[in-house]
A = this chain, B = another copy of it.
């Protein structure tokens, strides 16, 4: 039986107030800063449970760290993530879904799942970086 505890509420709340993908450690630090006494292991366990329940999305950063985000949609979707600031856009790709299934089936594969994530530099970060270049140059 799942019980509602102070810690679980805190993690859920923290996820609601954050827009971007965050690691367990970042969330732990955030919660500590907010004055919640909470153990790191508990943050990990809670995030894992939320991920299994499909309440939060998980993805691995380039350096292998797991990051979590409470997305608007509960249904299957993908993400466009800013490599610099973590800004995230939820994206749909019906064409990709059917393409994946079709390709896999044509090779005799079944029970298909897919990973599709886009990474880039958001407009804000590109502008900031452009500023830096100018500043550096002059």
Binding site for B on A (CB under 8 A): 60, 64, 80, 82-83, 89, 91, 93, 95-96, 99-100, 103-104, 107-123, 126
Contact = CB atoms under 8 A, between A and B. Distances in A.
Integer count of this chain's copies in the complex: 2
A132 B120 CA distance: 45
Contact of A80 (B80, B104, B121): B104
B104 A93 contact: no
A116 B113 contact: no
A97 to B, nearest CB: 11
14 contacts: A80-B103, A80-B104, A80-B109, A89-B109, A93-B103, A104-B120, A109-B121, A109-B123, A110-B123, A110-B126, A112-B120, A114-B118, A114-B119, A115-B118
Contacts of A111: 83, 120-121, 126
B120 A113 contact: yes
Task: Report which residue of A96, A112, A117, A118 has the largest number of chain B beta carbons within 10 angstroms of its beta carbon.
Answer: A118
Contacts of A107: 80, 89, 122
Nearest to A59: B115
A113 B89 CA distance: 15
